[in-house]
Chain A
């Protein structure tokens, strides 16, 4: 059974600081997703990481994937209040690009304070 673990689950940080969210998964996969969810809202896709060493950046967020370590990171640079949300990583259970349902981590509830 595929397990996806995120840490930390809760994070309170100040504006302007940097931090990293970690996502570990238990079985081989080469497709990893990061989603953002605002309270009471749907999930918004942030990044899709497809291969070992993949790095993607959008604004103050940067995601990377190490398939050998089964680890992805979401790095926040110079945080701003608008980035407050819950961030989920999700892993496809089969290597090779299958469209099977994703397994999600528990999410990281991020609060950025002025």
Chain B
């Protein structure tokens, strides 16, 4: 299996520009998560989807952030307009359905998108 695939791996953008991060979850996984990692705040859950439907977006920091999952194999996280404090590593992760998680299956992370806003 190819694992969770994220793009771009690295992006440097100017303040005020729109940033779109992309994620392809592992085929067959029902859940998709977006996390943000910074030195100061560690790993924070931003939003997660179940069967393409957003379940909890309480971690999305502001209205400048939005996420979509138009189908089972693709999700985007958009920041518009971007600010320097958005600089972080953004991880996408996916997992199997709830009942299988109870059996010990794990949540798989992508390689991350390293975002720098200058």
Tell whether A pairs with B: yes
- Residue of B at shortest CB range from A106? B42
Query: Which residues on the A side are within 8 Å of B104 (C-beta)?
Result: 48, 50
| Contact B106–A33 (Cβ < 8 Å) | yes
| Partner pick for B45 among A50, A96, A98, A101, CB 8 A cutoff | A101
Q: Which of under 10, 10 to 19, 20 to 34, or 35 or more describes the interface residues of B?
A: 20 to 34
| Contact B43–A88 (Cβ < 8 Å) | yes
Please report whether the interface of chain A is mostly helix, strand, loop or mixed according to DSSP.
loop
| Contact A45–B108 (Cβ < 8 Å) | yes
| Contact B31–A99 (Cβ < 8 Å) | yes
Query: Which residues on the A side are within 8 Å of B101 (C-beta)?
Result: 31, 92, 97-99
Q: Nearest Cβ in chain B — how far from A109, in angstroms?
A: 11
27 pairs, CB–CB < 8 Å, chain A vs chain B: A31-B101, A42-B110, A42-B111, A43-B93, A43-B109, A45-B106, A45-B107, A45-B108, A48-B105, A48-B106, A88-B43, A92-B101, A97-B98, A98-B98, A99-B30, A99-B97, A99-B98, A100-B48, A100-B55, A100-B56, A101-B33, A101-B48, A102-B33, A103-B45, A104-B42, A105-B42, A107-B42
> Contacts A33-B107, A44-B109, A98-B98 given; 13 further ones with Cβ under 8 A?
A31-B102, A42-B112, A43-B109, A45-B108, A96-B102, A97-B102, A99-B97, A99-B98, A101-B56, A101-B59, A102-B45, A107-B42, A107-B43
B-to-A contact residues, CB < 8 Å = 30-31, 33, 35, 42-43, 45, 48, 50, 55-56, 59, 91, 93, 95, 97-99, 101-102, 104-112
- The 7 tightest CB contacts between A and B, nearest first, are A97-B102, A101-B45, A104-B43, A45-B106, A43-B109, A99-B98, A101-B48
